[in-house]
């Protein structure tokens, strides 16, 4: 296969669509959260569940410790595949893994060292559960090397567009995140075995990822160190590290602020709707996970194709998410009452509505974010996050003190909207041409965001239903006839 044929194969529309569907299937275990969270709250209690929510956040934030190497491996492996340099990939992979083992171990020690201070002083954890909470944090620290090494191997599979393999692993591992703690409840209510079983699952996942990776790249059976690759990975990953640190930090720090300023019970009221609402990000993560290596390959070989892929991805992602977010805002109060009871609905309805708007903004922002990083400019996203962080932290602290957990949701959403606007401008500088119907898409996005804020106003059932039906009846024909191009309508018919 020639280099041009490889480029077309790795960015083929049907292949990307199929792999996106695989990634979406990988998010299916989120449905388990709907059933498992009420049981965990009931059996563990709100305080222990608040600590468990912090544990989930810390595991998700483990990418902090990979110093950008996982994302760098995906980008560089994709470029080497497109350039026909497959023989260099095994050395690249092993060099990444060995570096990750060092930084992961360092991260493990660092988290373990600060855990007594976090549990005993900084977080408002009741004294009765501080001992088990401390041991839970120690276990979480031990999981860091497994989490970041598995993520790097997953990136290798993604660079090869092997998303069927990726999701054959992701589905059971994601399901275990919710099922694992439930398996412990008949025997113990302590956080130690609850978190311990999650950590065991992470190490089992690492072994499974390595086995799959050897099937794709058999040469991985031989451990090799390639010094030039180490230099390149560290240079590229340096700016990635800034985004890997600050990006997840801005996604998860709100819960730690709430615990420090208010209480871990308030964390439960905030984190429960947060965990459910932000699961919509799995859709955008599924899409950009496929598009990141495609952007890397296409930008070098065919800039016009990269622009087409960027515009089409942004448009389809927004159009898919808007109706879901709209429904989430309209039914927030009734849905929470049915799911968790009137107490949670009273405290968390506005949180759901604000976060839903923020999730939509954050979802579409992931497209320019992945594009900019995919073309080899992680320094730009890093600088943007460095600029955002102090303003966000100040706004978050102030709004939590003024308006409690609703204030935290407002701050989170304001930051995601600003981030999205800034990333659109940044990505636009590198697009060789303006995507078709870009102007109309921007108008649609602005109108849709205004509609979402209006959706939170009705309180009675009949006005809610009327507003929802009217909005959908307008949205569908406008999208089909004014926003989608004839080619995109044909594409949508194939995959509807």
Q: What tens digit of pLDDT does each residue of 160-174 get?
A: 777 788 888 888 888
**Closest alpha carbon to 215 in 149, 280, 168:** 168
Tokens 């290798």 — which residue?
156
Domain ranges, residue 21: 3-495
Output the pLDDT for position 376.
75
Output the pLDDT for position 305.
75
Q: Which residues contact 495 (CB under 8 A, 6 or more apart)?
A: 17, 21
pLDDT > 60? residue 2: no
CA–CA gap between residue 50 and residue 375 (Å, rounded): 39
pLDDT > 90? residue 29: no
Mean pLDDT, all residues of the chain = 80
Condensed to tens digits (0 to 9), the pLDDT of residues 209-230 reads: 999 988 888 888 888 777 777 7
Element (H, E) at 81: helix 69-82
Q: What is the DSSP string of 259-290?
A: HHHT-HHHHHHHHHHHHHHGGGHHHHHHHHHH
pLDDT > 60? residue 427: yes
pLDDT > 70? residue 231: yes
Q: How confident is the model at residue 251 (pLDDT cuts 50, 70, 90)?
A: confident
Name the DSSP letter for residue 362: H
pLDDT > 80? residue 490: no
Least confident of 16-25, 133-142, 251-260: 16-25
Output the pLDDT for position 347.
81
Contact 37, 274 (CB under 8 A): no
Average pLDDT over residues 461-466: 77
| Alpha carbon 364 to chain centroid, angstroms | 12
- The answer to whether the Cα torsion of 312, 318, 321, 323 is positive or negative is negative
pLDDT > 80? residue 269: yes
Contact 234, 374 (CB under 8 A): no
Output the pLDDT for position 300.
65
| Alpha carbon 366 to chain centroid, angstroms | 9
Which of the pair, 66 or 404, is modelled with greater confidence? 404
Q: How confident is the model at residue 316 (pLDDT cuts 50, 70, 90)?
A: confident
Average pLDDT over residues 185-210: 89
pLDDT > 60? residue 10: no
Q: How confident is the model at residue 5 (pLDDT cuts 50, 70, 90)?
A: very low
Tokens 């952007």 — which residue?
295
CA–CA gap between residue 71 and residue 77 (Å, rounded): 10
**Closest alpha carbon to 200 in 147, 135, 152:** 147
The gap between the terminal CA atoms of the chain, to the nearest Å, is 31
pLDDT > 90? residue 411: yes
Q: Which residues contact 460 (CB under 8 A, 6 or more apart)?
A: none
Give the chain's radius of gyration (CA, Å).
Answer: 22
Output the pLDDT for position 227.
74
Which of the pair, 337 or 394, is modelled with greater confidence? 394
Q: How confident is the model at residue 207 (pLDDT cuts 50, 70, 90)?
A: very high
Output the pLDDT for position 412.
92
The two structure tokens encoding residue 77: 């492996």
Output the pLDDT for position 439.
62
Which of the pair, 102 or 33, is modelled with greater confidence? 102
Tokens 């690492």 — which residue?
206
Average pLDDT over residues 267-271: 82
Q: How confident is the model at residue 1 (pLDDT cuts 50, 70, 90)?
A: very low
The two structure tokens encoding residue 411: 């701050």
The SS3 assignment for 29 reads: helix
How deeply is 209 buried, as exposed, middle or buried, from its count of CB atoms within 10 A (0-12, 13-18, 19+)? Answer: buried
Condensed to tens digits (0 to 9), the pLDDT of residues 363-398 reads: 999 999 988 887 778 788 888 888 888 899 999 999
Output the pLDDT for position 62.
63
* Percentage helix, strand, coil for the chain under 3-state DSSP, each rounded to 5: 90, 0, 10
User: What angle (nearest 5°) sits at the alpha carbon of residue 35, between those of residues 33 and 40?
Assistant: 80
Domain count, the chain: 1
Average pLDDT over residues 6-17: 57
Helix (H) and strand (E) counts in the chain? 19, 0
Percentage of residues in the chain having pLDDT higher than 90? 8
Q: From its phi and psi, is residue 404 left (phi > 0), alpha (psi between -120 and 50) or beta?
A: left
pLDDT > 60? residue 437: no
The SS3 assignment for 202 reads: helix
**Closest alpha carbon to 103 in 71, 138, 149:** 149
Say whether pTM exceeds 0.85. no
Element (H, E) at 366: helix 342-374
């Amino acid at each position: 296969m020639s280099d041009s044929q490889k480029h077309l194969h790795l960015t083929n529309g049907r292949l990307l669509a199929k792999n996106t569907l695989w990634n979406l299937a990988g998010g299916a275990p989120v449905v388990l959260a709907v059933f498992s969270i009420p049981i965990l709250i009931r059996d563990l209690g709100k305080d222990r569940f608040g600590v468990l929510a912090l544990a989930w956040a810390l595991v998700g934030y483990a990418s902090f410790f990979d110093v950008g190497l996982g994302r760098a491996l995906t980008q560089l492996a994709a470029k080497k595949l497109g350039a026909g340099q497959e023989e260099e990939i095994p050395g690249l992979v092993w060099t990444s893994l060995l570096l990750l083992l060092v930084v992961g171990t360092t991260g493990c020690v660092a988290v373990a060292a600060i855990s007594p201070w976090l549990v005993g002083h900084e977080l408002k954890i009741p004294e009765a559960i501080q001992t088990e909470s401390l041991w839970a944090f120690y276990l979480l620290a031990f999981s860091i090397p497994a989490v970041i090494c598995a993520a790097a191997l997953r990136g290798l599979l993604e660079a090869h567009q092997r998303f069927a393999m990726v999701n054959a692993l992701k589905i059971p591992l994601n399901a275990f995140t919710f099922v694992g703690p439930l398996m412990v409840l008949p025997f113990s209510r302590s956080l130690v075995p609850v978190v311990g079983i999650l950590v065991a699952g992470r190490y089992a996942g690492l072994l499974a990822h390595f086995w799959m990776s050897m099937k794709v790249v058999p040469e991985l059976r031989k451990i090799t160190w390639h010094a030039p690759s180490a230099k390149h990975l560290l240079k590229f990953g340096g700016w990635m590290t800034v985004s890997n640190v600050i990006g997840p930090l801005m996604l998860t720090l709100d819960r730690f602020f709430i615990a420090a300023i208010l209480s871990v019970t308030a964390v439960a009221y905030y984190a429960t709707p947060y965990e459910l609402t932000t699961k919509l990000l799995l859709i955008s993560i599924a899409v950009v996970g496929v598009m990141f290596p495609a952007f890397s390959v296409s930008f070098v070989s065919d800039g016009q194709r990269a622009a087409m892929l960027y515009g089409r991805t942004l448009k389809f992602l927004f159009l898919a998410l808007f109706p879901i977010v709209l429904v989430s805002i309209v039914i927030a109060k009734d849905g929470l009452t049915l799911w968790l009871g009137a107490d949670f609905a009273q405290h968390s309805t506005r949180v759901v509505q604000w976060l839903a708007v923020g999730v939509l903004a954050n979802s579409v922002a992931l497209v320019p974010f992945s594009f900019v990083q995919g073309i080899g400019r992680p320094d730009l996203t890093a600088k943007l996050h460095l600029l955002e962080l102090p303003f966000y932290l100040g706004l978050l602290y102030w709004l939590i003190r003024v308006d409690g957990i609703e204030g935290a949701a407002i701050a989170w959403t304001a930051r995601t909207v600003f981030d999205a606007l800034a990333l659109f401008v940044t990505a636009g500088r590198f697009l060789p041409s303006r995507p078709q119907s870009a102007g109309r898409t921007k108008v649609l996005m602005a109108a849709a965001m205004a509609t979402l804020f209006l959706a939170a106003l009705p309180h009675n059932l009949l006005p809610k239903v009327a507003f929802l039906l009217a909005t959908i009846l307008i949205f569908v024909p406008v999208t089909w006839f004014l926003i989608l191009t004839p080619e995109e309508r044909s594409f949508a018919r194939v995959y509807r």
